[in-house]
Structure 1
Amino acid sequence: MSLCQVCHLDSKKHSKKLWTLHQQTQTCTFCQKSGSEHSEKLWQMHKLVVEKGQHCSEHKRDEKLYPITIGSGRAGVARVCKLNADPPYDKELIPIYMSCTECNLYLGSTEEDFADILDGMCLKCFRESIDQTDIWYDMPPIKKVSKKGVN
C-alpha cells in the first residue's frame, strides 16, 4: 500500500494513468501547470487542444510551439507559422485557445482550469445546460459606496 503525495489516496484507488501523472513532474504545455494540478480528463482535454492548435491547415503540417503572454494575461502557448517574407517578418505567432464545446467562443482562464467539470463549456452555456438561467443565480450587484459608507 502506497499513498499518493498529491491527493493522499491509496494507489489502488487511482487509475494507472492518474497514478503515473501524479508521480511525475510533467508540465502541461497548454497552461504551464504541473500534472499534479490536473485531473486525468483535464490533462487529456488540454493535450487535445494543443495537438489541434499545433496543426497549421495552411501549410498542412504541425508547427513548432512557443510560450507566449499577451498583455497582462497568463502565459499560454502559440504556434509559429513561417511566412514568405524577409526576416524578421517571416514568422507569425498564432495563439492557441480553448473553445466552448457548445457556442465555440473562446474560454477564459477560469473556464480552462475547470474544463473537466464544465465539460468544456463556457459558464454561460453550462448554466443554460443545467437550467440556471433565472436572475437569482446571478451574482448580487456591487454595493454603492458613498462618502458616508456602504449603502
Structure 2
Amino acid sequence: MTTRALLFGTGDTSRATDLGLLILRLGFGLSLAFGHGLGKLPPSEGFIAGTAEMGFPLPTLFAWAAALSEFVGGLLIAAGLLTRPAAVFAGFTMAVAAFVRHGGEPFSGMEKPFLFLVAFVALLIAGAGRYALDHYLRREPIRL
C-alpha cells in the first residue's frame, strides 16, 4: 500500500456509501470537536490533574494532546481532511477515555467515548469517502 492510499484511500465506493460516510464524519467529527474538544481548550487545572491521575507523564502535554486531538481531530474528520491520521489520534484519545478514565465504571459511563472510538475505527478502515477534502487531494492532476 502506498502512503497516498493510506492517507487518502482508493476512492472506489458507491455514492450511497459516500453519503453515509459524510453523515458519519459530520455527526461524530463535529460532536467531538464542539461537544468535547472546544471546552477543553485550553486545558484546565482539573483536566491536567485528571490526566496526571491516570498516570500519564507530563500531564500538561498529554492534556493538550487530548484536547487538540478532540477539537482539531474532530474538525479534520468532519471536513474529511487527513481523515485516517485524524481518526487514529481521536480514536486513541477515545480509547483512553473509555478504557482508562471510565474503565472501572459501568458500561453506561464508558459508552460515549466507546461509540466515538467505534466510529473512528470505521472511518480508519473505510476512509472519508468521495464527499471529503481527502478525495480532492488524492486526485491526480490533469496531464496534457
TM-score w.r.t. the length of structure 1 is 0.26
Q: Which structure exhibits the higher relative contact order, with contacts defined as CA atoms closer than 8 Å and separated by 6 or more residues? A: 2
Q: 1 or 2, which has the higher helix percentage?
A: 2
TM-score w.r.t. the length of structure 2 is 0.27
Q: 1 or 2, which has the higher strand percentage?
A: 1
